[in-house]
Amino acid sequence: MEKHIKLLIANDSNEFNRDYGRIFEKSGMEVLYTQKDGIKLLEKIESSHPDVVLTDLFMPRLDGIGVMKAIQTKTAGQGPLFVIVSNFTSPALEREVMMSGASYFAITPFNAADLADRIIQLCSMTGIVPQLSEKAQNTTSNEPSLEIQVTEILHQIGVPAHIKGYHYLRDSIIMAIKNPDIINAVTKQLYPSVAKQYDTTASRVERAIRHAIEVAWDRGDVDILNSYFGYTIHNTRGKPTNSEFIAMISDRLRLHMKSAS
């Protein structure tokens, strides 16, 4: 039987623990809870030895960075993985959090199922759980492998995982792979479909995706961008439009899947 990931959540909201905890448990994790207090969290980590800690960056008495540094000192770097959550970010803050030992930085509100998948991937990469379950390897659905492929491409291109547009882009690309015609109805079908999943509006989805592409174009590796979008778009026309970006990535992946089959 596969090892369950032991996830420790530091949060004072009963609603958060109930709703999000249920989703993490459905993903096969053993979920523990403690107060959103840095000192209490340290004590709980030492007593329960979790594999992963999900905690807010800002907490009373000791913040998330302080907790990570204290655990690193006590465990000589052999402590749990940290997923840090915040409702505020900046490039400098993100760098500080990641350099302090976080494995992932999530911005609230986030999709709990997506975060559960990310935690499982992180645990697989670090050897906490096996690389892939037999069930995942033998599944007849394209969903898990497709989601992982899209995720890897977005990371390569340089779309930061903590911004909303990242999740909207990933879902948009998956929709376009499954239904190529939707790319011709981005405003009327694609944006509203994504918005419904995240309980937001189509216009916010459109803006967030545009921002994600802009960030990738500012921070991303030029050679990787050119390999996906070509020198014409990058050097002459600037960044692709939302629909161009989604269409190019979805077409590339659809062709790859067709050739692989």
Contact 87, 73 (CB under 8 A): no
Helices (H) and strands (E) in the chain, counts: 12, 5
pLDDT band at residue 209, thresholds of 50, 70 and 90? very high
pTM for the whole thing? 0.54
Whether the pLDDT of residue 134 is over 70: the answer is no
With a cut of 80, say whether residue 140 has pLDDT above it: no
Query: If pLDDT is split at 50, 70 and 90, which confidence band does 144 have?
Result: very low
Tell me what pLDDT residue 80 has.
93
**Do you know the residue count of the chain?**
261
pLDDT, position 141: 39
Q: Is the peptide bond before 109 cis (omega within 30 degrees of 0)?
A: yes
Per-residue pLDDT of 67-96, as tens digits, reads 999 998 888 767 899 999 998 877 788 888
Contact call for residues 166 and 172 (beta carbons, < 8 A)? no
Task: Enter the tokens of residue 48.
Answer: 């329960």
